[in-house]
Chains A and B, each alone.
Chain A
Amino acid sequence: MNSFQMAWRSVIRKPVKSILLFFVVLIISLFFLSGMASRNASIATQNKTKQAVGAGFLMEANEENKRDRADEILAKKTAGEEGNFDGVNVKKIKTEYGTSWSVSYDNSFQTLLIGDMEKIAAVSGISEYNLTTAVTAVNPVNFLRIEDDDVDQSSDLLCVSLIGNKDMALDANVLSGNVTIKEGRMITEEDSNVCVISEELAEKNNLLIGDRMQFNDRRNVENATIFEAEIVGIYKVQQKMTPIMSGDTYRSENIIFTDLGFPEKAEGSTSGALYEKAYFKVADVNQYDELKKEIQNVEIGWERYDLIDNNGNIDTMSQNFNDLENVSQILVIVVAGASLIILFLVFVFWMKGRAQEIGILLALGTPKIKILGQILLEAFMIAVAAVFLSFTAAPATSKITADYLVKQQVQKAKEQSVLEEGKVAKSVEDSEATVTGVSVVVTSELMLYDWFGVALLVLISVGAAGVLIARKNPKDIFSEIN
């Protein structure tokens, strides 16, 4: 009778020990798969302020990716070096308490890549698209901004905000119906050096269509070049636009819409424009879901972006959820460590419980390595069955695990937010994001990793437990039995 036949009979005819190992391996495998799948989970979030996308898609830069790219760049630079490194500005600040470092990104580092946006715009089914710049604070030269008389303006930038659009009719504020033209017209792609201002700003400065407004770089108001934009329209709002930061610079009335190229000129940017959002209008709303899939198949560096659909859903990488990746990684490592100990103990008990059988086989002249091989075969037979069952159960357990981990992360973020309240400036939009779903996919690659992981653990555990046999001679084993 060969080892395989012996192993098979042992597995089938000694069901208690087989079932015990089966469940141990099943649980280990499920934890492995859940941990690995959670690490790659796609978290869907909903942002209430972004629900007005309508029949289109919105693209924004992925904040976590920005930080990752910056970290990579900074890791390559020499310690103590100052300057601009591929769009990341590093500056040494000397204070009376010592030296500290300031890290900021320039426009070239943060902007949506125009080439990528054009690739998406070229997808069949996209009828029009718009690019919107970041809100840009510039100095008002020949007009007065709206200010709250009761607020001390000493800490404010004393600026107005410019938002450049390729096609203003597709700006999020216009699409939502909040901003409408009261007089004049919106800005189109062909326009240059034009603006649309709020009715409050027009009234305060007695500005009319055709008048020219002047702006320059807020960091050098005395000497910076002045740029002029002609007023082509005056807008009104149903509700005040949500400011991105506190202070009158960003208040709704001081927001001025311009053509796409104007903000970078007015702020005196040396690193190009900062395109913050791109909107892609869908020609046929019935094709919305198919078109979304087609867009997601466009070959661009998706890790740089968040694609937001008409429900405000954002399919982002799990990295955006604080350290979900790290938590999942720790889960996998802890499971591996604990599994090794548990499996080792299981096999030690196996070996001890089978001392008589091992002694008999040794007495029959079976080499120790062949006996260990039989035990390893038995373990693999059971492990294969357990791992295959875990593959079928993994999607459900992975979902539960990922949901749990995300919930923990959200809770942690909330607690952190409470602790930091009033200490850290943050965008109002941040608080609007809520998790609407966690999508976990157990891929065949993960299954392969899982199988190799389990097989390795079984191999190491049997090997380690087998040392107990290898050290004994047959006479000692029979003495123990007797």
Chain B
Amino acid sequence: MVLEVKNVNYAYKSQKQKEILKNVSMQFEEKKFYTIVGASGAGKTTFLSLLAGLDLPVEGTILYDGEDIQVKGLNYHRKHHVSLVFQNYNLIDYLTTEENVRLGGTKRSQDLLEKVGIPCEDWQRNVLQLSGGQQQRVAIARALASNAKVLLADEPTGNLDENTAEEIIELLKRTAHELGKCVIVVTHSKYLAAQADEIIMIKDGYIESVTEFN
């Protein structure tokens, strides 16, 4: 397994009595496509943030390849172990398409842009001139530019129309199955959730169920 969550609890510093995640444990493997589902406020995004090293759990540990992510530091974890894709794309507005991809790592940005289906005439355009679907593809290309084994995505199709969302889901599936990455996606979309190898259901801070598909 590449990523393991052990007995994790999380609460906001300002509201310590209100626990967001309660004794959560889970293991994630490479070449698998996971979706995390649940009602709003269930703790899905918080769980993803902890996996991404954007914050620390109050209790418990998160291991990457068997090592606590705090040993090398959260910056190191974010830079080398995981890559992130967001609902609102989160691209840097003063960079071109290609430059945004280069931010992700040293891999050849143009190859990645080709792989995610961005035509070459758009590579040197300002990234904000692209459509929403194209921007999300660029965000995925940026995530793939790093050597990270884990790709985390928070509502990646939330702002996209149905057809574009399907294309993005396909891209994420290929990333898991063809590129061998561990892809973990938080979503409200039943369609997207149904595409996963495993569906993790979170309710009131607990992992209520894990459904595995063969």
Measured between alpha carbons, how far is A13 from B93 in the docked complex, in Å?
Answer: 9
Contact residues of A between 355 and 373, Cβ < 8 Å to B: 356-357, 359-367
Residues of A within 8 A of B91 (CB): 360
Query: Of the candidates B77, B90, B95, B102, which one forms a contact with A359 in the assembled complex, judged by CB atoms under 8 Å apart?
Result: B90
Q: Which single residue of chain B is at the shortest CB-CB distance from A364?
A: B103
Contacting pair A365 B78 (CB below 8 A): yes
B150 within 8 A of A: no
B54 within 8 A of A: yes
Contact residues of B between 86 and 104, Cβ < 8 Å to A: 86-88, 90-95, 99, 102-104
Contacting pair A9 B84 (CB below 8 A): no
A473 within 8 A of B: yes
Contacting pair A474 B94 (CB below 8 A): no
Contacting pair B99 A364 (CB below 8 A): no
Query: Of the candidates B75, B78, B88, B99, which one forms a contact with A482 in the assembled complex, judged by CB atoms under 8 Å apart?
Result: B88
Contact residues of B between 70 and 85, Cβ < 8 Å to A: 75-80, 84
Query: Of the candidates A14, A363, A481, which one forms a contact with B54 in the assembled complex, judged by CB atoms under 8 Å apart?
Result: A363
Measured between alpha carbons, how far is A365 from B105 in the docked complex, in Å?
Answer: 11
Contacting pair A474 B54 (CB below 8 A): yes
23 contacts between A and B (CB under 8 A): A13-B126, A14-B93, A356-B90, A357-B92, A359-B90, A360-B91, A360-B92, A360-B103, A361-B103, A362-B78, A363-B52, A363-B54, A363-B90, A364-B104, A365-B78, A365-B79, A365-B80, A366-B79, A367-B75, A474-B54, A475-B46, A478-B86, A482-B88
Contacting pair A364 B79 (CB below 8 A): yes
Number of A residues, CB within 8 Å of B: 22
Residues of A within 8 A of B79 (CB): 364-366
Measured between alpha carbons, how far is A475 from B78 in the docked complex, in Å?
Answer: 12
Contact residues of B between 23 and 75, Cβ < 8 Å to A: 46, 49, 52, 54-55, 75
Most chain A C-beta atoms within 10 Å of own C-beta, residue among B76, B90, B91, B126? B90
Query: Of the candidates A14, A357, A363, which one forms a contact with B78 in the assembled complex, judged by CB atoms under 8 Å apart?
Result: A363
Residues of B within 8 A of A481 (CB): 88, 90
Measured between alpha carbons, how far is A357 from B76 in the docked complex, in Å?
Answer: 19
Contacting pair B54 A360 (CB below 8 A): no
Contact residues of A between 340 and 368, Cβ < 8 Å to B: 356-357, 359-367
Contacting pair A9 B95 (CB below 8 A): yes
Contacting pair A478 B94 (CB below 8 A): no
CB distance from A357 to the nearest CB of B (A): 5
Interface residues in chain B, defined as those with a beta carbon under 8 Å from any beta carbon in chain A: 46, 49, 52, 54-55, 75-80, 84, 86-88, 90-95, 99, 102-104, 126
Contact residues of A between 85 and 130, Cβ < 8 Å to B: none
Measured between alpha carbons, how far is A312 from B91 in the docked complex, in Å?
Answer: 70
Contacting pair A475 B54 (CB below 8 A): yes
Measured between alpha carbons, how far is A357 from B127 in the docked complex, in Å?
Answer: 13
Residues of B within 8 A of A360 (CB): 90-92, 103
Contact residues of A between 435 and 482, Cβ < 8 Å to B: 473-475, 478, 481-482
Q: A365-B78, A482-B88 are in contact. Are A475 and B94 (CB under 8 A)?
A: no
A1-42 vs B: 1/0 string, CB under 8 Å? 100000001100110000000000000000000000000000
Query: Of the candidates A1, A362, A473, A475, which one forms a contact with B103 in the assembled complex, judged by CB atoms under 8 Å apart?
Result: A1
Q: Which single residue of chain B is at the shortest CB-CB distance from A370?
A: B75
Contacting pair A1 B90 (CB below 8 A): no
Measured between alpha carbons, how far is A362 from B86 in the docked complex, in Å?
Answer: 14
CB distance from B89 to the nearest CB of A (A): 10
Residues of B within 8 A of A474 (CB): 54-55, 78
